[in-house]
Structure 1
């Protein structure tokens, strides 16, 4: 068997490799949240408004307030940790 085929047919999982993959995915998500802090609103799909059943009138989305964007969960965590760190630095 070739080494590539042998590696593909191995059914055992390496916990260290899975941990490294999870860490890499977490780091990638943090970078993604820092660069792009906003995602599209889940309720209106980023449109910011809804059409009436007739299709002639529209109204703003209640969740995003009409701008079609929401702050990502990772960015909320990042901001909370940053403010906590800043508050701790000011009290010293």
Structure 2
């Protein structure tokens, strides 16, 4: 029981450190290309429009960093 709790704590601490060091991750939809890439039936690659999720940047803010920013903004607004 103690080892499972320690493993969960280390995983959460590692993800928090990752979000602090690298707040942006690659977009999962376009794989960091910034454009939607499609493959047609013949296997040919077609480059489409800019990715809607990342707006063409190829990077997205991680969920943990988004939660951190929200908590920090909430604390800042409440401490005024």
TM over 0.5: yes
TM-score where L is the length of structure 1: 0.72
The answer to whether 1:67 aligns with 2:57 is yes
- Kindly indicate whether structure 1 or structure 2 has the higher relative contact order, using CA contacts under 8 Å at least 6 residues apart: 2
Q: Which has the higher helix share?
A: 1
Larger-gyration structure (1/2): 1
TM-score, normalization by structure 2: 0.82
Q: Is 1:22 paired with 2:12?
A: no
Gaps of 5+ in 2: none
State how many pairs are aligned. Answer: 76
Alpha-carbon shift at residue 20 of structure 1 (Å) = 0.9
CA RMSD of aligned residues (A): 1.8
Provide structure 1 residue ranges, at least 5 long, that are not aligned to the other structure: 1-14
